[in-house]
Amino acid sequence: MSDDTAPTLPLPQSWRPLRLQTLLVLRWLAVIGQTIGVLFVQLGLGFPLPLVECLALIGLSAALNVGLVLRFGANLRLSSRFAAAQLAFDLCQLGGLLALTGGLENPFSLLLLAPVSVSATTLPQRQTFLIALLACTLASVLAVVHLPLPWDPAERIVFNRIYVIGIWVSIICGVVFISAYTNRVAHDSRQIADALAATELALARREQLSALDGLAAAAAHELGTPLSTIALAAKEMRAEVEEGSQMAEDVELIIAQSARCRAILAKLRNLGSEPADLFAAAPITDILDEVARPHEGRGKVILFYSEKAAGAVPVFPRSVGLLYGLGNLIENATHFAKQTVRVETAWDQEAISVSITDDGPGFASELISRLGEPYLTTRPRDPAGSDAHQPGGLGLGVFIAKTLLERTGARLRFDNAEAGGHARVMIVWPRDTMPDQSTSAVLT
C-alpha cells in the first residue's frame, strides 16, 4: 500500500530558485567588510600587507556585481548551476585574499564556511557537495601555501604547525557538518512546506466542491420563477391551439421539457440543503461505508467489522478532513490488495479505533518508520502500462490523510498485520480528544 494524490499538484523541488539580488547583496556586504578589514590592518594597525593585490581582488568582486546587474537585472531567478558558480567565485576570491594575508593563520579563515552555508540552505545536494569540496580543497591549499600573516614588523609571530593543523581540521569539520546536516534539514523543511501547501490545495478544492452545492441551490431557486411562468404560458397556449396541429405538438413539448427542468432544479435544491442539515454528523460505521463505496467497483471486496464494540456507536462530524483522510487510506488499500480489504471498527470508554488492512504485499520494512512523510511513494505510474517500472505519484496522499486525520485528534500507526505482508493502518481517537457528540450521540 502506498500513497497517491491528484496529478495536478505541484511537483516537489529540492531547492528554491534564488534571486540574483540575494547573492548580490551578500557579495556587496563581503566587499564592504573586506575593504574595511584590509584598510584597517594597513592604515589603522600599521601592519604591512599586499594592499594593491588585496584591493584588486575586492574590486573584481565589485566589478562582477555591477556586470551581473547590467547583464541580467537584479530580479533574475538563478538556476542551481548559475547560483553554485557565483558561490564558487566567492569562495575562490576569499581564498585568494586569505592566501595574501596569512592563510589559515588569519582568523577570518572561518569565513570559508559562509558560501557553504548559503549553498546548503538554498541549493540541491549535488551543488552543495561541489561547493563543500571546493571549500575543503581551498582550506587544504591555504594550510601550506600562503603569504605571512600581516603583523607588527618589530615583532616576530610564529604559529605551531599543530595549531595550524587544528584550524584546518576545524574548518573541514565545519564544512562537512554544514553541508550535510544543514542541507538535510533545509531539504526536509522545503518538503514539509510543499506538502502542507498541497494539503491546503486539496482542502480548498473540496471546500469549493461543497460550495457548489449551495450555489446550485441558489441557482435553482432563481430559475424556478421564470420556469413556472414558461410552463403556465405554455398551458394557456395549449387551450387555444387546434389539437393535432404542429403548434399543439410544440406546446406539448414545451410543457414536458419545463416539467423535466423543474425536476432537475428540485434535485439541485436538495444538494445544498440535505448534506448540510440532515447529515452534518453520522456514525463512524456509516462514514466508513460512505467513503468506501466509490472504491467497491475495482474488483476488490471491502469487508466491514465492528465486533469489538462497547456502548453506542460513536458519531463523528462529517468534516472534509475526516472524509478525505479515511477515503484516501481505503483507496490506497484497494490499490494494493489482492482480493480483500478489511475495515475493522472498535470503541470503548477510552478510545475509538479504525483498522484498514489489505491482503497485499504489505509495507516495505525499511519504509514503515517513514510512512506519513511527504513525497514518500512506491506506486508506479501505471501498474498496467509500459512505465510501470518507473516511480510515479507525488507521494502526498498518505501525508495529507495523516495530517487531516491528526487534526481531528487521531493518532495513526502503520505496520504489517502478518510477517508476509498485509499492510495495516491503525487510526485511534482517544475519547478525551473527541467532541461531546462523538461519545454519546447515536443516529438511528
Same domain? 253 vs 311: no
Residue 141 in grid coordinates: 591549499
Q: Which of 174, 200, 226 is the last residue of a domain?
A: 200
Q: Which of 172, 200, 228 is the last residue of a domain?
A: 200
Distance set, CA 81 to CA 18, 86, 132 (Å): 11, 9, 14
CA-based nearest residue to 12, from 391, 363, 433, 420: 391
Residues of the domain holding 230: 208-277
Res 437: pLDDT: 46
Q: How far apart are CA 2 and CA 397, in angstroms?
A: 8
Residue 182 inside a domain? The answer is yes
Residue 8 inside a domain? The answer is no
Residue 297 inside a domain? The answer is yes
Share of the chain above pLDDT 70, in %: 77
Same domain? 229 vs 321: no
- Local mean pLDDT, 10-residue blocks, the chain (444 residues): 40 61 90 93 89 93 92 84 91 93 90 89 86 93 90 83 91 90 75 68 63 60 77 81 80 82 69 49 88 81 83 84 86 88 90 91 81 62 42 59 83 87 90 56 36
Query: Is 127 in contact with 84 (CB distance < 8 Å)?
Result: yes
Whole-prediction pTM: 0.49
Same domain? 50 vs 189: yes
Q: How far apart are CA 441 and CA 443, in angstroms?
A: 7
Res 239: pLDDT: 78
Q: Which of 240, 257, 277 is the last residue of a domain?
A: 277
Question: What 3-state class would DSSP assign to 128?
Answer: helix
Residue 6 inside a domain? The answer is no
Q: What is the CATH number of the domain that holds 410?
A: 3.30.565.10
Res 235: pLDDT: 82
Cα 394 to chain centroid distance, Å, stands at 9
Residue 2 inside a domain? The answer is no
Same domain? 62 vs 155: yes
Report the domain count for the chain.
3
What sections of 107-242 are H helices per DSSP? Answer: 113-122, 125-142, 161-177, 183-240
Residue 7 inside a domain? The answer is no
